[in-house]
């Protein structure tokens, strides 16, 4: 199983989209391993976006991400990172395909509703930043119905 960090950004919360966005991930069969409503501090934003520190958009990005609460979500599933990125859609809502989160709800080039880890290495780092207390371990009953137990989960039925 693979884990990834998803952030519902301030615009998603302020627009009342958190529930609708969460539903898409759950309906796809992903397991919630951690979830919290939080206010990102400037220090956390600086750590999370350190790769963009020299970019001209960095100050505005930090200001935006600290302007309102976010939902931090740890999701788990086979191929979770790629699956989540497909569900999210292209970075800018105006470029995203209909049926994706950004394609259905986004229009801005600045406010793009959601963040998702782009690699296993990024996911590990980001999950550590947003869930330093760790994640919740449990058996998801839905896995038996979302994945082939023998072929994908390695379990006998």
What residues form DSSP beta bridges with 72?
A: 7, 36
| 115 counts as catalytic | yes
User: 104-118 burial, b if ≥16 CB within 10 A, otherwise e?
Assistant: bbbeeeebbbbbbbe
> Which residue out of 115, 123, 126, 143 is catalytically annotated?
115
Per DSSP, the residues of 29-52 read TPEEEEEEEEPPPHHHHHHHTGGG
Give the residue numbers annotated as catalytic, written as ranges: 115
């Amino acid at each position: 199983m693979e884990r990834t960090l998803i952030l519902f950004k301030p615009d998603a919360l302020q627009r009342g989209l958190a529930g609708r966005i969460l539903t898409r991930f759950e309906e796809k069969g992903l397991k919630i391993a951690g979830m919290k409503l939080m206010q990102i501090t400037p220090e956390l934003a600086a750590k999370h976006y350190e790769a963009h520190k020299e970019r001209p958009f960095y100050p505005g990005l930090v200001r935006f991400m600290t302007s309102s609460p976010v939902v931090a979500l740890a999701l788990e599933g086979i191929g979770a990172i790629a699956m989540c990125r497909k569900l999210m859609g292209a970075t800018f809502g105006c470029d995203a395909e209909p049926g994706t989160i950004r394609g259905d709800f986004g229009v801005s080039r600045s406010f793009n509703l959601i963040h998702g880890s782009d690699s296993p290495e990024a996911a590990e780092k980001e999950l550590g930043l947003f869930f330093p207390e760790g994640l919740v371990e449990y058996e998801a009953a839905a896995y038996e119905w979302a994945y082939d137990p023998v072929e994908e989960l390695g379990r006998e039925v």
